[in-house]
Amino acid sequence: MKSVIIVGGGLVGALHACFMAQRGFKVDLYEMRPDIRTLEVVRGRSINLSLSARGREALRRVGLEDIVVQTGIPMYARMIHDVDGTRRPIPYGKKDQYIMSVDRRHLNEVLLTEAEKVPNVTMHFEHKVMECDFDKGTVSFRKNDGSVVTATADLIVGCDGAFSGVRQQIMKKTLFDYEQVFIPHGYMELNMPPAAGDHFAMEVNYLHIWARNEFMMIALPNQDKTYTCTLFMPFDIFRTLTTKEAVRKFFQDTFPDSIPLLGEEYVTETVSTSKALPLISVKCSPYHVKDKAVILGDAAHAMVPFYGQGMNCGFEDCIVFDDLLNKHNNDIGATLAEYTETRSVDAKAIVDLALYNYIEMRESVNSRMFLLRKKLDNFLYWLFPNTWVPLYTSVSFSRIRYHQCIKNKQWQDRVLRRAMYVGVSGLLAVGYCALTRPQYFRLSLPVQLEDFVNRVRPSWLERICF
């Protein structure tokens, strides 16, 4: 039986343990934190997760889709909150297309419990990776009591997040390209309680967005009738909100309709005393070392959360890896080489798309041209469902490769630019013909205007008309 060490017991690590156990691998899962199923409070990121097609496919393959979906809340559209209190929905796609708001902790617990059911999976909590030997296939861990243990396996898989210890070991011991970027915006979470009577305070099946061009606030619904609100802003603005009065004025000017929903005292106290947390993007290559190690999820491609694809992309990593093991009949060396080659281009694409979508969410949704383009895309998608797939639809509601989603969008932009050019040229040609050949259009022009047109008439337009 082949063996695998998975470092990281978060979402991707726990899911990958399920995939590898299904294949008959002996799996040892090591996690730096205590078992979250035993904790009352889990520290760390709690930005709500949006589950879409790629993530659902991964859960389906390990038999967990129905369990997770039952506890999620569908979101069919963005609900934009304007400063004057107006709310306007922008659908994600067709009426039956939606993303789901899911609870991070609940999903992680479900995955850990499912992996633990399999006899060939062993879990080791409170083990921090110290060193990897990629020649011998060993990993040394420091336990909470200070002792060090060393494990050996046929494959080492790093699923240990944006600040991956396994990736750090790869960087030290191999030729490795690495790019890490902290964007100049941070985030802060707020909690919106249920309305009186234990009801949702806002329309439930939406991702709510207060888009203010330079910054924004979003809210995702939870099963307990609350909303998790996340404020994304430049750190320079966060630094100005250090007093209750400053926070009160800021929210009155920018998010006035949210104050009664969140509670004025809660907002002013929380924002003035809390620290905004950073957002990071990571690109790197290669993802593997020889036939001994590979990194998946945020360890390979951490991204900002604005496309809701961080988890979905990490889950799709597990699908791609599993498919390649099928293709190569469990040959780890061949699988790792092809995994890096095929997956890195898509991971880098979605990292870029995630940052692009921040601009769309905080600014473009306020633009009439953006809304017009959205309607045009949806209309063309209705006319040509197999040819014209909007960018958001291809990313969130299909498994089209991420880099191909970008290529499709670029092709669509070229088509529309050419159509606009032809349309404008046609209108100019018709207008010119109407001026120079009024007898064909039943127009009567003043003699002075006819003389002016004849003198300035361009030859290229003459050839278009006649």
Can you tell me whether residue 127 is helix, strand or coil? strand
Which has the higher per-residue pLDDT, 201 or 196?
Answer: 201
Q: 219, 261 in Cβ contact below 8 A?
A: no
Residue 117 has, within 13 A of its CA and on its CB side, a CA count of: 12
* 11: exposed, middle or buried (Cβ count in 10 Å: 0-12, 13-18, 19+): buried
* 351: exposed, middle or buried (Cβ count in 10 Å: 0-12, 13-18, 19+): buried
Q: What residue segments make up the domains of the chain, in order of their start?
A: 3-74+98-181+279-358, 184-278, 367-466
**Residue 296 pLDDT level (bands cut at 50, 70, 90):** very high
Q: Which CATH number fits domain 3-74+98-181+279-358: 3.40.50.300, 2.120.10.30, 3.40.50.2300, 3.50.50.60?
A: 3.50.50.60
d(CA 258, CA 85): 9
Mean pLDDT of 341-353: 97
Q: Which of 7-21, 267-281, 370-384, 394-408 has the lowest mean pLDDT?
A: 370-384
Q: Which DSSP string do the residues of 382-445 spell out, in sequence order?
A: HH-TTT---HHHHHHSS---HHHHHHHHHHHHHHHHHHHHHHHHHHHHHHHHHHH-HHHHT---
Q: 225, 202 in Cβ contact below 8 A?
A: no
Lookup: tokens for 118: 């399999």
Q: Which residues, including other chains, have CB under 8 Å from residue 249's CB and lie 6 or more apart?
A: none
Count Cβ neighbours within 10 Å for each residue of 216-255 and write b for 16 or more, e otherwise. bbbbbbbeebbbbbbbbbeeebbeebeebeebbebbeebb
- Locate tokens 């609940």: which residue? 106
Can you tell me whether residue 451 is helix, strand or coil? helix
Q: 193, 187 in Cβ contact below 8 A?
A: no
pLDDT digits (tens, 9 = 90+) for 135-177: 999 999 999 999 999 999 999 999 999 999 999 999 999 999 9
pLDDT digits (tens, 9 = 90+) for 77-111: 999 999 999 999 999 988 899 999 999 999 999 99
- Locate tokens 């990071």: which residue? 280
**Residue 465 pLDDT level (bands cut at 50, 70, 90):** very low
pLDDT, position 40: 82
Mean pLDDT of 217-224: 96
* 330: exposed, middle or buried (Cβ count in 10 Å: 0-12, 13-18, 19+): middle
Residue 433 has pLDDT above 70, yes or no: yes
Q: Which of 178-182, 336-340, 419-423 has the lowest mean pLDDT?
A: 419-423
d(CA 212, CA 202): 19
Residue 451 has pLDDT above 70, yes or no: no
pLDDT digits (tens, 9 = 90+) for 391-414: 999 999 999 999 999 999 999 999
Choose among 99, 113, 291, 362: nearest CA to 207. 99
Percent of the chain whose pLDDT exceeds 90: 83
pLDDT, position 430: 74
pLDDT digits (tens, 9 = 90+) for 26-78: 999 999 999 999 998 766 555 679 999 999 999 999 999 999 999 999 999 99
pLDDT, position 460: 44
pLDDT, position 46: 59
pTM equals 0.89
pLDDT, position 431: 74
